[in-house]
């Protein structure tokens, strides 16, 4: 099993290209099941989750191809994938595939909308808290689906097709918003989704669906209106830049010092996180290339945060921000409001010398003068990269094990950081 070895102490200087957003690419790929024409996605990141979802979609009969490398193309730029689901041969998503990645459960929406039936295993994914599928099921029922549970599978049927309806989520859910919005595009009549997720990835999916012929209004607000159409068609769509990768590298620069341009990054996708980062003393400037991040070596100011649905501070940056606060000049507090089990990185940061105390969903971090390298273990995707960030600033050598978590969400992380002066390498077991 691969590990990542880091020798800390070097500031970061240079350019880091920001990849396409994993959290946008996955629902975009799934939306290809809605039509019998080709959906072409540009700027798709080369990630383990993308490869796995391709395998899952292929199981339904989807054909795909990836554009080859062109002369002069940077290996860190995104790939272009062509997806064609003209011949869906199976509407079952089996346990052995769905259990590996939670987002693959979302195929239930497009399959039900287009084929009028689906049988999808209950999902798996990161162990960061309970994420029930009740919202998905209730939303699809509101569109006329009949749903039963059968030995770990969700069996859904819509004889004659889905019908427009009113869906009110009791709590904001990005995945449920994706799924119901996709399903509603082919439902008969108008559907309304209330208390919808407002994340940029939801808006990106809506824009793609509109390009395919869907009629959607209100994406990016808490109320989305969808007028069902008979069919969707071919479209070409670029994936938005990854706001979580952007925030992660910005916090790495804040942690180590230096100056890095995050090429292709968009500040409007994570304004709240950038505002918090500025409060720590980090300089952030928007340029024609993207975002320039700079810290001149002055101390890091402690800042309290609470994770919230968009446009609030994202839970997917909580672990990275905690790593940054371990070196602040004072005490900061982090309140996790999204997932109840997302502090598993605390004990690993403590191995590097961090001083963190817990009280339920609140972590108090007392900044220390020095972190010291140690052997640590990744527990989930975002936790793993927080350990990398801490290792970049720690004295001596840090080894991060179980880095397969990293490969799910960060494209060529070691290469991007080493180009900017980090001493970091992957060690194959």
Calculate the average pLDDT of the chain: 93
In this structure, the answer to whether residues 228 and 255 fall within a common structural domain is no
pLDDT score for 40: 98
Spans in the chain with pLDDT lower than 50: 71-72, 125-131
Whether 57 and 163 map to the same domain: the answer is: yes
As a whole number of angstroms, the distance between CA 390 and CA 382 comes to 13
What pLDDT is recorded for position 127? 41
What are the φ and ψ backbone dihedral angles of 121, each rounded to 5 degrees?
-65, 150
Same-domain status, 221 and 254: no
Tokens of 377: 């273990």
Which residue ranges are tagged as binding site for phosphoenolpyruvate?
Answer: 22-23
Kindly give the residue spans of alpha helices, DSSP state H, lying in 195-268: 200-211, 243-256
pLDDT given at position 132: 66
Last residue of a domain, one of 238, 261, 296: 238
Whether 110 and 89 map to the same domain: the answer is: yes
According to the model, what pLDDT value does residue 191 have?
98
Tokens coding 37: 């024409």
Q: What is the pLDDT of residues 262-277, one digit of tens each?
A: 999 999 999 999 999 9
Q: 168-173 long-range CB contacts below 8 Å, 24 or more apart?
A: 168/194, 168/195, 169/135, 169/139, 169/193, 169/194, 169/195, 169/196, 170/135, 170/195, 171/135, 171/195, 172/196, 172/197, 172/198, 172/309, 173/135, 173/136, 173/197
With a CB cutoff of 8 Å and minimum separation 6, the contacts of 395 are: 8, 9, 370, 371, 372, 373
**Does one domain contain both 206 and 254?**
no
Provide the domain limits for residue 227. Answer: 22-238
Same domain, 384 and 397: yes
Q: Would you list which residues are annotated within the binding site?
A: 22-23, 102, 171-174, 316, 338
My answer on whether 286 and 212 are in the same domain is no
245 and 205 assigned to the same domain: no
User: What is the structure's pLDDT at 129?
Assistant: 40
Domain boundary among 238, 272, 298: 238
Residues 107 and 191 reside in one and the same domain: yes
**Distance of alpha carbon 372 from alpha carbon 261, whole angstroms:** 27
Q: How far is it, in rounded angstroms, from Cα 53 to Cα 63? A: 13
Count of structural domains within the chain: 2
Active-site position among 35, 126, 208, 420: 126
- Told to judge if 126 belongs to the known catalytic residues of this protein, a careful annotator would answer yes
Sign of the CA dihedral with 377 first, then 381, 383, and 388 last = positive
Q: Can you give the CATH number for the domain in which 265 is found? A: 3.65.10.10
DSSP 318-340: HHHHHHHHTTBSSEEEEE--S-T
- Cβ partners under 8 Å of residue 361, min gap 6: 335, 336, 337, 340
Q: Are 30 and 144 contained in the same domain?
A: yes
Enter the pTM of the model.
Answer: 0.94
Structure tokens at 59: 């199981």
Same domain for 202 and 345?
Answer: no
Rounded Cα distance between 342 and 345, Å, is 8
Instruction: Dump pLDDT digits (tens) for 356-383.
Output: 999 999 999 999 999 999 999 988 777 7
| Domain end among 238, 258, 288 | 238
């Amino acid at each position: 099993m691969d590990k990542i070895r880091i020798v800390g102490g070097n500031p970061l200087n240079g350019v880091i290209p920001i990849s396409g957003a994993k959290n946008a690419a996955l629902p975009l790929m799934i939306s290809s099941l809605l039509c019998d024409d080709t959906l072409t996605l540009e700027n798709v990141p080369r990630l383990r989750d993308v490869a796995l979802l391709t395998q899952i979609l292929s199981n339904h009969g989807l054909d795909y191809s990836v554009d080859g490398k062109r002369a002069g193309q940077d290996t860190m730029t995104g790939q272009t994938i062509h997806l064609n689901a003209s011949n869906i041969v199976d509407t079952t998503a089996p346990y052995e595939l769905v259990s590996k990645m939670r987002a693959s459960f979302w195929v239930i929406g497009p399959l039900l909308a287009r084929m009028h039936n689906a049988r999808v295993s209950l999902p798996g994914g990161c162990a960061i808290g309970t994420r029930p599928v009740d919202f998905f099921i209730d939303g699809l029922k509101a569109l006329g689906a009949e749903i039963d549970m059968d030995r770990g599978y969700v069996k859904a049927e819509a004889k004659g097709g889905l019908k427009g309806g009113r869906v009110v989520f009791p709590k904001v859910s990005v995945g449920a918003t994706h799924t119901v919005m996709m399903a509603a595009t082919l439902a008969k009549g108008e559907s309304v989704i209330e208390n919808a997720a407002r994340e940029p990835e939801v808006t990106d999916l809506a824009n793609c669906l509109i390009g395919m012929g869907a009629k959607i209004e209100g994406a990016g607000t808490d109320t989305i209106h969808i007028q069902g159409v008979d069919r969707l068609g071919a479209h070409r769509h670029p994936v938005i830049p990854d706001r979580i990768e952007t925030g992660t590298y910005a916090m790495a620069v804040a942690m180590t010092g230096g100056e890095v341009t995050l090429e292709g990054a968009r500040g409007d996708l994570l304004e709240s996180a950038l505002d918090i980062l500025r409060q720590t003393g980090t300089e952030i400037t928007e340029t024609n290339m993207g975002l320039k991040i700079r810290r001149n070596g002055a101390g890091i100011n402690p800042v309290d945060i609470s994770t919230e649905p968009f446009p609030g501070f994202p839970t997917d940056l909580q672990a990275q921000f905690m790593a940054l606060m371990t070196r602040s000049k004072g005490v900061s507090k982090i309140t996790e409001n999204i997932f109840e089990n997302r502090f598993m990185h605390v004990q690993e940061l403590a191995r590097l010398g961090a001083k963190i105390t817990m009280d339920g969903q609140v972590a108090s971090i007392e900044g220390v003068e020095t972190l010291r390298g140690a052997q640590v273990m990744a527990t989930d995707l975002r936790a793993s990269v927080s350990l990398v960030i801490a290792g970049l600033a720690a004295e001596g050598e840090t080894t991060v094990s179980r880095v397969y978590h990293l490969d799910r969400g960060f494209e060529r992380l070691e290469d991007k950081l080493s180009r900017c002066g980090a001493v970091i390498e992957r060690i194959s077991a």
